[in-house]
Structure 1
Amino acid sequence: MNVLLIGSGGREHALAWKLAASPMLTKLYAAPGNPGIAREAEIVALDVNDHVAVAAFCKDKAIDLVVVGPEAPLVAGLGDELRAAGIRVFGPSAKAAQLEGSKGFTKDLCRKYNIPTAAYERFGNAADARAYVEKMGAPIVVKADGLAAGKGVTVAMTLDEALDAVDACFEGGFGAAGAEVVIEEFLTGEEASFFCLCDGKTALPFGTAQDHKRVGEGDTGPNTGGMGAYSPAPVMTPELIERTMREIIEPTMRGMAEMGMPFSGVLFAGLMINEKGPQLIEYNVRFGDPECQVLMMRLKDDLLVLLNAVADGQLSHMSARWRDEAALTVVMASKGYPGTPMKGTIIRGLDKAPEGVEIFHAGTAEEDGEIVAAGGRVLNVTATGRTVTEAQRKAYEAVDVIDWPEGFCRRDIGWRAVEREQE
């Protein structure tokens, strides 16, 4: 099979690494790619926002499947336009991608189909939103409705913080994404990431992980796109997985089909686990980043076979098998992140990682034969081990041989699982 992978981050490098191992693969192309992905795929200079150009490339190269990594092209309707041209796609339609593209859409779906989630209200102007925040008090959660590259959510512990977040949305801090705001009840508990492959009819559980959103150790500081992750998430017991499928995923699949927008692709449920059970924080319509990296390290099966079954609507015949080991990834970010990261700094020592550790490129470029930082989150140092503790040790050993003074990482990724293992 000829496959085109869309995207340029650590998630896409992990997908490229796993797809490249498939005996079914004839040729893997990637657009726009990165220097790490270039080791697994042929990089093509395609503007992924030019859907006509992407379709023309697919026709020219006899592409059998397009795998769309990030959310923005899905929300923009790339999947629809490729399917209309007769090209098979892994990823949802633009209508189905509203599950990530509009937080208000997802909250309304939850209300309609009795899916457990935080109480909420939606606002189209700052005055009403501010009045609601003042009435409800803090802690409270303020979310820009649209896509904001993982940065449109404020978990406000004080009233001033919440009011500032409302103002930031309506004053254009998140562009069009902040034109509407969702304000939610603050939930307590333990967060987990739960994934399902979906073909519009069938949902196949596809692994669990735990992300670390805050930039600082001990889960302090501002939210980021994710500073590290591990899989599996111990909090997601077989009983909780079964409840999540029954109470959250299956009603979502049913509701989307009833509304004429069946969901096909990967459904990523961000969950809060507490005494009430699993509650939905948000949906994403693509693999998590950096959760994808740990899932790909643990997946036993041929990823291409599974994605193909999704595109064909044949998921009911499939299963997914996982290695017993834990996997853990540490995000190395450029100093300044999640604000203004330093760019263009040289990274050395990437070839010195111990055996069994994969370094996925997330925000890199190549200049004059050197790998340089080209984004905020730059590298995903990913290891497996018999336990999370062992995977954590191996990952940090690899971090310590990377020569990049302008980079930083959290040193406590996996701390919850490590504490459990030491009990």
Structure 2
Amino acid sequence: MTATTTAPRQRLALIALCLAFFIVQLDATVVNVAVEAIRRDLGGGLGGEQWVIASYTIALAAGMLTAGSLGDRYGSRRVCVLGTVVFGVGSALCSLAPSIPVLIVARTVQGVGAAALLPCSLALIVRQFPEPRERAHALGLWGGIAAIGLATGPVAGGVLIALADWRAIFWVNVPFAVLAVVLTSRYVVESVPGNRRLDPYGLVLGTVALSALAGGLIQVGQSGWALPLIAAGLLTGLAFVLVERHRRDPMLPLEIFSSRPFSAASTAGLIFNFCLYGTLLCLSLYLQGPLHQSAFATGMLTLPLTVAIGIGATASGRLTARFGPRVPMLIGFSLAGLGAVLLAAAGSPPLVVAGGVVLCCCSIAMPAMTSVAMSTPPEEHTGLAAGVLNTARQTGGALGTAVLGTLLTAGSTMSLSVPMTIVALAYAAAVGCTLLATRRREPAVR
């Protein structure tokens, strides 16, 4: 293949993989502004609303380790395409759901599909762009488009609900999924399959641990099942670690965490999604609750946040290519912490928007953080490393939705002060993770 034909193919491959990640991120937050409309139509209280959101992120978090391993074994493109198909089917089922329980099941199907395509799309980008500078730019675009999807969710949800109804927010995924499947199948080069064996014990224990822990946190203060679920999640997580330590071919080789940059960057990824997912949910509920904004108005008010996320994530690729990952990570997490402080005192829509825009500058850190995490694993574990990183991130998203949503509504009236104080402290911890991940001076990619 000549250089003149390779470059256009790479661009189309990157578009395909970015599109897949875009719809995954879009669906993580598009429901935020629709929960009130869904509750009016299908019934259910706050617990049902949180489960409609969290069932997606729990399934997404719980399935990615397995998906990364499957991609390494059978080919990342094959698993990515299959995941996109499942995601599209789940979206159609969501739009047809007649009740909250059915909607939660359909959202889980969506999450399973997203879990298959997300780590494999990242692994494919790493393999498609082996040159460091090109990879940094590709990851910047991938992260930027995905972050736009995350922040576009409330905007798109508000517009679609105003023009049609809440079911439209799921139907819109179907043509995007079809397009992503076509482009990925045609232009993305398949990875070389490996010979790693499957680890069913790790799959079951890891899935149960993540699901029970997140589910228990959602139920805190709402039912007596919360503490037993949290305890079951912690105990199952311990069993997962013990089993993986003694498996000859584990789903999660624990030595992958011996790399300080990888471990610290993955922890920063967990914090990143914990704060961003939880904050976007809190802002949506706060604007529609105490501030009495409609779903459409809430979507429009979050539009500047979308712009900030897109600009920040795209700029991160350029900053990383020029200065290395430390600078954009420190800038992004520091600005996000400042935004959380501003939101803790916000009591009007303009102040919420201003604080939200500053917080959403966290997107400057995301592609740089991904670059750090994916620069250390050997090539045969690229899919697994992508799975670990994204499992950490989506676990953070599920926990952020559960914890911050619960804190927002814990008092007699909704208040941003407590959840945003937690977010500010978490971003301070992310700054510490950045310093650990980039302790040695990172050379600029030239």
Q: Does TM, normalized by the shorter one, top 0.5?
A: no
Say which structure is richer in strand: 1
TM-score (ref. length: structure 1): 0.24
Say which structure is richer in helix: 2
